[in-house]
Structure 1
Amino acid sequence: MQQTCIVIVGPTAVGKTALAIRVAEQFGTAIISADSRQCFREMTIGVAKPSAAELAQVKHYFINSHSVQDDVNAAVFEQYALQSVKEIYAQQPIAVMTGGTGLYIKAFCEGLDDIPPVSPAIRERITEQYQQHGLSWLQQQVAAQDPAYYNTGEIHNPQRLIRALEVKQATGQSIRQYQQGKKGVRPFRIVKIGLELPREDLYRNINQRVDIMMQQGLLEEVRSLLPFRHLNALQTVGYNELFNYLDGNDTLSGAIEAIKRNTRQYAKRQMTWFRKSVDVQWFSPHNDAVLLDYCRAAMTGP
């Protein structure tokens, strides 16, 4: 059988983790997480990390593999994932990858684009202004100067916003222009499966998940991470809003509603990203039999 990686994509809270575990168990293999935050040991509740029981069911790569103090990006993930899949293929010809970080999945499947170098002075100037004026200023600048990125990118991630802005100012082109280059070729088959739900169902899942996170102790987790709040790993939905509450700038109920709203907006951007991939086959997460049949057929097909 040809070496194959089944890549399961879709928005947050759609059911990717549960499906990936079922597929991995069916084919006796391991899972590579393609989530830019679940790799951090210090972050658990707010990143919807698989439970201890789920991690015990199937071996996972890129879960609890790094510290928030490590510099982790798409290039780091690409090398980590390629090494991980090589290890998996030494045991069996099937691997599973799942996650919602579109750029990480693109890096694994196609390689990274060759973006022109940017003068350090440009980054320093943008970073200094961000430190003075905050995230909302950075979002406004990207929305005005690079709407193509703003409409599809991670607009709550300062590092990626700064990257988009510096590329635009250095080259005059949207960073998205450089993220549509020639696809690299991997020495294994890639089968992409997308999970989708009606919007009202997905949004209900998101709202319920946030409520459960709060019950599980998300506020205490965020409080424990206050000393690291300046790090890029913590610049993400679910943490920024509660940092804002702990600073006295919002009520707890207001922060919770902000997490729900920002997560719904993030899910919408995820779907915009993944919908652009013509090689993704879309399914409901509830059709287990259909999904598994599709995986078997794809692995043995041409």
Structure 2
Amino acid sequence: MQKTAIIIAGPTASGKTALSIKIAQLFNTAVISADSRQCYREISIGTAKPSPEELAAVPHYFINSHSIKEEVNAGLYEKLALQYADEIFSKNDIAVVCGGTGLYIKAFTDGIDEMPEIPAGIRTFLNEQYAAHGITWLQEQLQQRDPAFYAVAETQNPQRLIRALEVLEATGRSILEFRLATPVQRPFNIIKIGITLPKEQLHANIHHRVDLMMEAGLVDEVRAVLPYRNHNALRTVGYSEIFKYLDGDCTLEQAVTDIKTHTRQYAKRQLTWFRKDPAITWFDPRQQDEIFASIKKAISG
């Protein structure tokens, strides 16, 4: 039987974790996370990491695997995830990959470009400019200097904008020139399952999850990582809003409202990304029998 990676993708709060564990149990296998923040040991609440019970239910890879002091990116993820897959495939025909970071899933399934080395000084300069002038400065710079990238960029995502400017500063070339045109062929089958919920239900899940994060102690978690606030993983939803509150720039109530708004916007961006992939078969996560049947059919293929 050929080795197969089952990808479970979709927006935040759609039920990916629970579904991936059920699928892993069905095939007596392990889950590789494709989430760019759950790998960090120091941040658990704001990243909606699987619970200790969920982590104990099946083996998980790329969760709590790194420290926030380390820099993890899609290139490193590709190497690690392929190693994890090899390890799983040495004992099992099936591996499950679950997450909402589209770039990480793409790196695993299609390969990722060799990005140029960025001198530390460039990164520091751009981070300082972002801190001083906000996201508008990043947007204006890219709009002027790399309009082709800006036309397709996630213009509300400072990480992506800084990355594009880093490449531009370091090489004089657009980040678009470093993107692989031809996907790498992997030595295993890939089945892609996308899950999402009706918009009202997804938004209700997001709001409920944020309330639970606050109850679980999100403010204390963010306070504990204040020294690392410029780390890419912390310049994201759930952390940047609480940093603003801790800086005295908004009330806690406003921060929570902003987290809910920004998480809804993030879920929309995730859906836009995943819907561009014609290989993904979409389901409502509550259609478990149909999902299992679809996977089994694709495996027996």
Q: Equivalent residue for 1:86?
A: 86
Distance 2:136 2:225 in 1: 22
Residue type at the aligned position of 1:237: V
TM-superposed CA distance for 1:150, in Å, is: 6.2
Aligned 8 A contact 2:112 2:180 in 1: no
CA distance, structure 2, for counterparts of residue 214 and residue 168 of structure 1:
39
Do 1:156 and 1:235's aligned partners in 2 also have CA atoms closer than 8 Å?
Answer: no
Cα pair distance change 1:153/1:222, threshold 3 Å: farther
Tell me if structure 2 keeps the 8 A contact 1:113–1:181: no
1:75 to partner: Cα distance: 0.9
Distance change >3 Å, CA 66–CA 123, structure 1 → 2: closer
Helix, strand or coil for the counterpart of 1:194?
strand
For the 8 Å contact 1:157–1:235, the answer to whether it is kept is: no
3-state DSSP class of the match of 1:220?
A: helix
- Report the equivalent of 1:53: 53
The answer to whether the 8 A contact 1:151-1:269 is kept is: no
Confirm or deny that 1:100 pairs with 2:124: no
Q: Which moved more, 1:229-238 or 1:33-42?
A: 229-238
Residue of structure 2 in register with 1:197 after alignment: 197
**Match status 1:6 vs 2:9:** no
Q: Distance in 2 between matches of 1:152 and 1:203?
A: 26
Contact 1:158–1:232 (8 Å) recurs in 2: no
Q: Which amino acid aligns with 2:20?
A: A
Deviations 1:40-95 (A, max 9, x none): 00000000000000000010000000000011001111111000000001111100
Matched-pair contact (CA < 8 Å) for 1:3–1:89: yes
Map Cα deviations across residues 157-193 of structure 1 (whole Å, 9 max, x no partner).
5443211234457788764564461000100001000
Aligned Cα RMSD in Å?
Answer: 2.5
User: Quick check: 46-55 or 219-228, which moved more?
Assistant: 219-228
Matched residue, 2:181: 181
Describe the superposition over 1:89-133 as per-residue Cα deviations: whole angstroms up to 9, x where unpaired.
111110000001111111110111255777888656534422432
Asked whether the equivalents of residues 6 and 190 of structure 1 are also in contact (C-alpha less than 8 Å), the reply is yes
CA separation of 1:239/1:119 partners in 2, compared to 1, >3 Å: closer, same or farther?
closer
Does the 8 Å contact 1:164/1:174 carry over to 2?
A: yes
Supply the distance in 2 between the matched residues of 1:42 and 1:118 (Cα, whole angstroms): 26
**2: CA distance, partners of 1:68 / 1:51:** 19
1:269 matched to which residue of 2? 269
* Corresponding position of 1:28: 28
Q: Which moves more between the two structures, 284-293 or 149-158? A: 149-158
1:248-289 Cα shifts (integer Å, max 9, x gaps): 000011000110111111111111111111100001100010
Distance (whole Å) between structure 1 residues aligned to residue 218 and residue 21 of structure 2: 24
Structure 1 residues 169-224: Cα deviation after superposition (integer angstroms, max 9, x where no partner): 77887645644610001000010000021111111111111011111111111111
Q: Which amino acid aligns with 1:223?
A: R
The verdict on how the C-alpha distance between 1:256 and 1:121 changes in structure 2, with shifts beyond 3 A counting, is closer
CA distance in 2, matches of 1:140, 1:210: 32
Q: Does 1:298 align with 2:298?
A: yes
Alignment size in residue pairs: 301
Alpha-carbon spacing, 1:70–1:169, altered in 2? closer, same or farther (3 Å): closer
* Cα 1:259/1:153, change in 2 over 3 Å: farther
Q: Which amino acid aligns with 2:256?
A: I
Matches within 5 A, 1:1-302: 1-114=1-114, 126-139=126-139, 141-142=141-142, 158-167=158-167, 175-176=175-176, 178-179=178-179, 181-301=181-301
Pick which of 268-277 and 223-232 moved more. 223-232
In structure 2, relative to structure 1, the CA distance for the partners of 1:36 and 1:296 (3 Å cut) is same
Distance in 1 (alpha carbons) for counterparts of 2:12 and 2:152: 15
Cα 1:248–1:69 change in 2 (3 A) is same
CA distance in structure 2 between the partners assigned to 1:151 and 1:268 by the alignment = 18
Question: Partner of 2:96: helix, strand, or coil?
Answer: strand
- Report the secondary structure of 1:5's partner residue: strand
Question: Which moved further from structure 2: 253-262 or 134-143?
Answer: 134-143
- What SS does the corresponding residue of 2:250 show, helix, strand or coil? coil
- Paired AA for residue 130 in structure 2: Y
Distance in 1 (alpha carbons) for counterparts of 2:183 and 2:117: 20
